[in-house]
Amino acid sequence: MGILSRMIPTEDASARKREIEEKLKQEQETLSFIRENLEKSDQLTKGMVSILSSFESRLMQLENSIIPVHKQTENLQRLQENVDKTLSCMDHVISYYHVAKDTDRIIREGPTGRLDEYLACIAKIQKAVEYFQDNNPDSPELNTVKARFEKGKELLEAEFRNLLTRYSKPVPPILILDAISVDEELEVQEEVVLEHLPEAVLQDIICIAGWLVEYGRNQDFMNVYFQIRSNQLDRSIKGLKEHFRKNSASSGVPYSPAVQTKRKDTPTKKVPKRPVYIPGTIRKAQNLLKQYSQHGLDGKKGGSNLTPLEGYDHDLRVKLMTDALTEKHGGAAGKDDVLDIEIDSYIHCISAFVKLAQSEYALLLEIIPEHHQKKTFDSLIQEALDNLMLEGDNIVSAARRAIMRHDYSAVLTIFPILRHLKMNKSEFDSTLQGTAASTKNKLPTLITSMETIGAKALEEFADSIKNDPDKEYNMPKDGTVHELTSNAILFLQQLLDFQETAGAMLASQESSSSASSYTSEFNKRLLSTYICKVLGNLQLNLLSKSKVYEDAALRAIFLHNNYNYILKSLEKSELIQLVTVTQKRAESLYRELIEQQIISYKSSWFKVTEHLSEKNMPVFQPGTKLKDKERQIIKDKFKGFNDGLEELCKTQKGWAIPDKEQRDFIRRSQKTVVSEAYRAFLQRCANISFTKNPEKYHKYHPEHVEQMIEKLFDTSA
């Protein structure tokens, strides 16, 4: 065991030694392989270095040969370019010396018909001027091209003027009317385009204006522009006026078919953008008012021969009066017709001015430089605007003179114009935005003048109603409606068409803090107060006038007719709604006044019916013979009744109660009272023998009495 144990480690050591020796041998072989490869690599490296060195040497030789050739070629190219540039510059410079000659024909012939070619020539001349100024400012050629440039600029300015003058035409009246019209039946309005210049001409004008601003350093063309366009704007509006004069006088239809008309300015479901005035409506009322004023308010003439119609039909009375005036003048248009056309024309011209000014501004934006647009527009519209404002001032002055003559119907002329101005004020202000303050203030100044004169007329009219003198010869003999009443009611009814305008007129004169808001409701209350004031003044004056009648019954009939006329007029129109804004009991108060006058009238029959009463009647027994004194009492009663009945019927038959309903009511109630009293009296005297000739005293049967009363207030009976 011991020997075996010693032998095992020895064998392991031998094996280990052999293994190491084998690895060493392998490593040595690898080392030898590496050494061989290194030697080969060194040889290859030396060969490559030798090749590269040879290549470098050859490249250096090539470079030394090529570079001088390249530099020489480059110098030759540079010399060639310099020669070409020099020749080009010489040609360019020489061309400047020939510009004047080359452009002479085109410049002389002008730009008409060939603007682009002309502007190209001007550009050549301008470059020549710049060249000589920079390089040879003392040369005579500079003066030549300068003169040619100025000539070209003058011809461009002349072409600008000629194009504007030749193609700027007044806008036809029919086209203007179509542009300002509003068709309420169309939900989407088709805007009418006002084309002031043909498109090709407009482009030429824009091109010339742009050149004059950029190169011509000239602003004179803007003055030319506003003068020519201002003249056309003014001519367009004057043409519209002339259109109204000619067509209204001949056919009475001055409008384009597209123009829609509206009268009232009270709130409605659909308010037109530009309401226009119906000619003749106000004028009819003025005709009647003037007739009244000639006979009543001014106190210069006697009573009118106008007979109130059944039911107080105002419209019919106005129509009859207008027809009478037309017939009197042979159907020809009189001064009223001319004034009516002027008012209608003026209202349309205001709308036309706004529309035309807007289109002029749109045109101006394309032609005039931005920083000159507002000033040029301001100058452009001045003539037309001044003429409109002057015409408005003349209307105010005419109204003022009429008011001084106590012709208060003149205020009716102001109403449609003022309403139209105020309804268009916002659009007017928008159109004039950016113009001078003096320009923007012209319309507000005119509106203020019209409101002031209108308010003055309203107040003086109210005072004239109160102070109209009591004149016996001016009182209706039949106790019918007084001219003053018709005048006042007709005037107030005209205010219904212009409630907002009239209310604003009155509000403009208010100085209280409550008036500062000028709300529609506030204005309505002011107008209601004014109408109540006129009605109150009218009532006081009627009471005063009624005292002219010596007969108390006729006085009652007069007041009854006037009060009833006022009430019916209020009820038939919207006046009653206006009055009740501040006077809730107006209707009932007038009914009470009417009832009072009926009672007063009935008392006139007391002197007839008092003879039928039992007062002083003798007491007797049937079959008893009356004494002479008692018989005489009965005779006197019969005679008193007969005489009183005949006298009253004869007198009152000539009186008038135009309202058939009231007339029938008074007759019926009076028949009942008198007939019942008379029948009772006859029944009491039926069995009394008071005379041998009873037919002498018993002249009338009850039915006959009723027939006589039925004929009261009937001048034809």
Alpha-carbon span 192 to 198, nearest angstrom: 16
Whether 406 shows a pLDDT value over 90: the answer reads no
Whether 312 shows a pLDDT value over 50: the answer reads no
Closest by CA position to 347, among listed 237, 506, 233 = 237
pLDDT tier for residue 180 given thresholds of 50, 70 and 90? confident
pLDDT tier for residue 71 given thresholds of 50, 70 and 90? confident
| Rounded average pLDDT over 114-124 | 84
Q: What is the pLDDT of residue 659?
A: 92
Whether 191 shows a pLDDT value over 80: the answer reads no
The mean-pLDDT minimum among 227-241, 280-294, 408-422, 560-574 falls in: 280-294
Two tokens, residue 55: 């290549």
Phi and psi dihedrals of 527, rounded to 5?
-65, -40
| Rounded average pLDDT over 100-111 | 77
Whether 701 shows a pLDDT value over 50: the answer reads yes
Q: What is the pLDDT of residue 278?
A: 43
Give the 3-state secondary structure of residue 45: helix
Q: What is the pLDDT of residue 318?
A: 37
Quickly count: other Cβ atoms within 10 Å of residue 464's Cβ. Answer: 21
| Rounded average pLDDT over 571-590 | 92
Q: What is the pLDDT of residue 576?
A: 92
Whether 448 shows a pLDDT value over 80: the answer reads yes
Q: What is the pLDDT of residue 616?
A: 66
Integer-rounded Cα radius of gyration of the chain: 55
Q: What is the pLDDT of residue 171?
A: 92
The mean-pLDDT minimum among 220-229, 622-631, 664-673 falls in: 622-631
Closest by CA position to 603, among listed 562, 560, 543 = 560
The CB-side HSE value for 381 (13 A sphere, CA atoms) comes to 31
| Rounded average pLDDT over 668-679 | 91
| Rounded average pLDDT over 194-217 | 87
Two tokens, residue 289: 């008012």
Alpha-carbon span 247 to 228, nearest angstrom: 28
Q: 48-62 pLDDT, tens per residue?
A: 998 988 888 888 888
Mean pLDDT over the full length of the chain: 80
| Rounded average pLDDT over 180-184 | 64
Query: Which residues are CB-neighbours of 317 under 8 A, at least 6 positions away?
Result: 288, 306, 308, 309, 486
Length of the chain: 717
Q: 490-525 pLDDT, tens per residue?
A: 999 988 888 998 998 898 887 654 444 557 889 899
| DSSP conformation class of 296 | I
Q: What is the pLDDT of residue 511?
A: 63
Tokens 């039909």 belong to 313
| Rounded average pLDDT over 635-661 | 89
At position 198, the amino acid (one-letter code) is P
Tokens 């036809």 belong to 172
Q: 81 vs 425, which has greater pLDDT?
A: 425
List C-alpha distances in Å: 543 to 139, 469, 597, 675: 104, 12, 11, 32
Closest by CA position to 275, among listed 122, 72, 423, 452 = 423
At position 641, the amino acid (one-letter code) is F
Whether 188 shows a pLDDT value over 80: the answer reads no
Share of the chain above pLDDT 90, in %: 38
Alpha-carbon span 318 to 289, nearest angstrom: 10
Burial class of residue 61 (count of CB atoms within 10 Å of its CB; 0-12, 13-18, 19+): exposed
pLDDT tier for residue 168 given thresholds of 50, 70 and 90? very high
Are the beta carbons of 292 and 483 closer than 8 angstroms?
Answer: yes
Q: What is the pLDDT of residue 185?
A: 46
Whether 533 shows a pLDDT value over 70: the answer reads yes
